[in-house]
Amino acid sequence: MKYFLRISILALLLLQSLCAAAASAQAQKYESINKTLHEKLATAKSPKDSILLLENIYDISLLVRPATSDSIAKVIYEVARRADDDATALDMIRQITNLNRGDSVRERMLELARTFPDSHDKSSTVAFIRMCMNSTIRDMSDEERKAHLHRLLHSYTVDRPKDIYDQVVLLHAVCTNMSGNAQGELLVKYMDKLSALIDQLPADDYVLRNAFYVQGAINYVAAEQYSKAIELDHKLLATMD
């Protein structure tokens, strides 16, 4: 038995060593790519070329240097604004929002997003930030959540906003509130309403769709609605084709 345990421990240590070596090799590979991208960036001839290289650098940072991702995203945002590339600038606003959990940063991103010309991309980005800000609901006490839910349901039933993006944010807040309590059937009811609303968004609005598909699947699983969770997973995979 002691021999067997010793062999098992040695095998485990060997496996850990191999995994560490593989991770180190992968990190070195990314560092080499990162160095090459920075060299190319120094000779980029246009903002468009710079943005493409910076986006690649950003993607690598998420894998090997996540602490630097926020600062890189901010650089891309500034370059995109100067180049009048609204799509990239709004994407970086969403990225920065996702990287930061602090209210002050998200409020700043919301202010920036609202300065862009009207478009579906702008509306989607504003809604996405507001949905991220709904996460503060989870920090409320039980009494605060009950009062908050009452106000939300009153808004939804009596004074429902006309804009579809405002409706999405409102229903998302309702579902976020309910997801922290034992309200399975009621949660599913409003999740179904939110799902139907998401389906009405423009076909190319992948930002809100994907955000809902991920969180929605989790909520459906928590409510033991496994078939609905699987359906959302399939929809998420379809957006990646």
pLDDT per residue as tens digits for the range 99-118: 998 889 999 999 999 999 99
* pLDDT band per the 50, 70, 90 thresholds, residue 155: very high
Provide the pLDDT for residue 201.
94
- The separation between the first and the last C-alpha atoms of the chain, rounded to the nearest angstrom, is 51
Contact predicate 173/134, CB 8 Å: yes
Say how many CA atoms lie within 13 Å of 61 toward its Cβ. 18
Q: Taking each helix axis as running N to C, give the angle between helix 69-82 and helix 47-64, from 0 to 180 degrees, rounded to the nearest 10.
A: 170
Which residues have CB under 8 Å from 149's CB, separation 6+? 174, 177, 178
Q: Are 164 and 173 in contact, with CB atoms under 8 Å apart?
A: no
CA 16 from centroid of its chain's CA atoms: 31
Higher pLDDT, 177 or 34: 177
**At residue 31, does pLDDT exceed 70?**
yes
CA atoms within 13 A on the CB side of 37: 19
pLDDT over 80 (residue 226): yes
Do residues 72 and 37 lie in contact, with contact meaning Cβ atoms separated by under 8 Å?
Answer: no
Helix (H) and strand (E) counts for the chain? 11, 0
Task: Decide: helix, strand or coil at residue 153.
Answer: helix
Closest-CA residue to 187 (of 154, 214, 225, 240): 225
- Of 63-67, 109-113, 117-121, 211-215, give the lowest mean pLDDT range: 63-67
CA distance 145 to 137: 7
Nearest to 197 by CA among 147, 234, 152, 160: 160
Residue 10: its pLDDT value, please? 42
pTM equals: 0.84
